[in-house]
Amino acid sequence: MRTKRLLLGTLTVLAIAGTTTILPTTSASAKRAVTPTNFRGTWQTRINKKTVRNLKITKFTFGVTDYKNGKAEEGAWTVGDKKQKHSKSPFKWTPLYLHKDKKGYTFIGANRLGQLWHLKRVTHKKRAALRDDGWAYKSFGEKPVVQYYYRVK
């Protein structure tokens, strides 16, 4: 009788200790996407004589702003920023999406509404640049367009 109690008590203790060590601890929050370090900073390209487009890439955010005659135009947006309390951006609270493909390109942006950018770090005209392979919509259909964004100091 005593050996049965001792055996039952030992098995109970081992069962409780075994389940607490086997069960993994999980956190409720998801991990945020982190941009590559060689992409971080402010990059710009000239769209036409009066319009410039800036890309601002930080560790957790990706933002696009167009400037016309030196003034920011409406339609600027940022993804991945958790601090946008009073933003009018349509991507407010949208997580940053990052995916690298086999050719060295990185898809970065919002994974909805077609706001993904296809970027690759290259050297163009002896300067560090981000190459963007995008599409331009003309009256006769789609046309592939390559733009280069240069670092702004």
pLDDT in tens, 73-98: 988 888 887 765 655 666 666 788 89
The predicted pLDDT at position 12 comes to: 67
Spatial separation of the C-alpha atoms in residues 65 and 47, rounded to whole Å = 12
Given a cut of 60, whether residue 37 has pLDDT beyond it is yes
Tokens for 56, please give them: 């601002």
Average pLDDT over residues 122-150: 85
Q: Nearest Cα to 62, choosing from 48, 45, 75, 76?
A: 76
Q: Which helix (H) or strand (E) holds 123?
A: strand 116-124
pTM above 0.75, yes or no: no
Spatial separation of the C-alpha atoms in residues 93 and 80, rounded to whole Å = 7
